[in-house]
Copies of this chain bind each other. A is one copy, B any other.
Amino acid sequence: MNLPESLIQMGSKRNIMREIREYGLLRAWEVGAEKVLDFSLGNPSVEPPRRVNDFIRELLSGPEAASVHGYTTAQGELGVREKLAASLTRRFGGPYDAGDLYLTVGAAAALCCCFRALACPGDQFILLAPFFTEYTYFITGNGGEPVVVPPDYATFQPDLGALERSITSHTKAVVVNSPNNPSGVVYTAETLSAMAELLRRKAAEYGHPIYLISDEPYREIVFEGFSVPWLPDFYDDTLVCYSYSKSLSLPGERIGYILIGKPVADREALYAAICGAGRVLGYVNAPSLFQRVAAECDGLTADLTVYQTNRDLLYHGLTELGYTCVEPGGTFYLMVKSPEPDAAAFCERAKRYDLLFPPTDDFHCPGWCRIAFCTATETVQKALPLFKKLAAEYGLN
């Protein structure tokens, strides 16, 4: 047999969240779904904004009913990109125009196109731990080499000293994901200013641009007292990768974009390389109906209040029980420190209470776990007394 071994491995090894999810479904069948408290998957629990389905029904009853399913240009329908650019300009400044946008089949596709478009032989891409498990596959699969930088464990902000030591003449880009999966942390303006300053200095030192790739699917899921700075305001060479998966609760529909503003270095060539990357990866155009949905609904969100409620209950509840938690500024994730060195063992112990969540070893953060609270609030309320029993086992508090 002569097939690429790494891909076989990658296709055989289940993502740990999906493994837990499947265990949860099995367990629900055994003991009843109401007893299984599954915090494994980042699947939005709230419905899309009503406008999404209303708009689709209107569109499919109107004069565009047939043409809406046709090919669009590879970078996305011009009218769609114009509307999105206007919306982004209203919300974030810019100004942006249609030529700054390349619509993608979700954020994963956006990231893959960026990595592919940037990676020359030997190029390194810096990942700030903790980070989404798939990043390393996206980078190695598209010609780059990932370099992992640990966080400042006191705050889970990036450790800029460690970042500086990791930058070499081979550094092509740094990936930023804020609000962060899995930590929920929002990088502060201070962090971003200092990071931008560092990158400008290093880019000048090495004589070539170092890009920031900002993966922002959680941009709109932000909690009281927090706000998400707009990265292009801090650093010119920023590529924004966005997805409507979480804000509009449309993760299965795969719609997102890359924003490449005017100040980005080698912008024309890079935009062309992204188009070329889309071609070789087989992305003909982003799904056409949902391009229209994005244009119609950009800036709207699903009703995200349940995430705030769940976050408050969980963060305060677990902290009071003696757990060490990272305070989430956004997303629907919370990281809790394992009370024993082996986080997988802690997860196994939690499983006995039918509390299901993964360790963050695969997120490059051993010793911690990720609780995805995109669930009904009732699930959180049922979980807390069980977390209390679990805390007692460890003698917390």
Contacts and interface: CB of A to CB of B under 8 A. Distances in A.
Given A105-B282, A252-B69, A275 B11 contact: yes
Contacts of A254: 105, 284-287
A279 interface: yes
Contact of A271 (B4, B11, B57): B11
Contact of A117 (B3, B60, B112): B3
Contacts of A61: 53, 57
Contacts of A184: none
Contacts of A118: 3
Contacts of A69: 48, 52, 249-253
Interface stretch (A92-100, A133-141, A229-237, A323-331): A133-141
Interface in A35-59: 41, 43-44, 47-48, 52-53, 56-57
B10 A280 contact: yes
A287 B287 contact: yes
A66 interface: yes
A95 to B, nearest CB: 24
A284 B106 contact: yes
A316 interface: no
A273 interface: yes
A9 B142 CA distance: 18
B252 A288 contact: yes
Contact of A4 (B47, B66, B120): B120
A394 B31 CA distance: 81
B3 A120 contact: yes
Size bin of chain A's contact surface: 35 or more
A6 interface: yes
A6 B140 contact: no
A274 interface: yes
A395 interface: no
A8 interface: yes
A147 interface: no
Nearest to A46: B66
Interface string A72-86: 110000000000000
Given A69-B251, A288-B252, A282 B111 contact: yes
Nearest to A138: B282
A194 to B, nearest CB: 26
Contact of A109 (B108, B269, B283): B283
A142 B141 CA distance: 10
A1 interface: yes
A204 interface: no
Contacts of A56: 56-57, 60
Contacts of A48: 66, 69
Contacts of A278: 11
B108 A272 contact: no
A290 B60 CA distance: 14
A349 interface: no
Contacts of A108: 282-284
A225 interface: no
18 contacts: A1-B266, A1-B269, A3-B120, A7-B276, A7-B277, A8-B276, A53-B65, A57-B61, A71-B251, A106-B284, A108-B283, A109-B283, A112-B282, A113-B282, A252-B291, A253-B289, A254-B286, A254-B287
Given A11-B274, A11-B279, A69-B252, 4 more contacts: A3-B266, A3-B270, A11-B271, A252-B285
A-B complex: 6 closest residue pairs judged by Cβ atoms: A141-B280, A252-B288, A11-B275, A7-B276, A112-B282, A11-B276
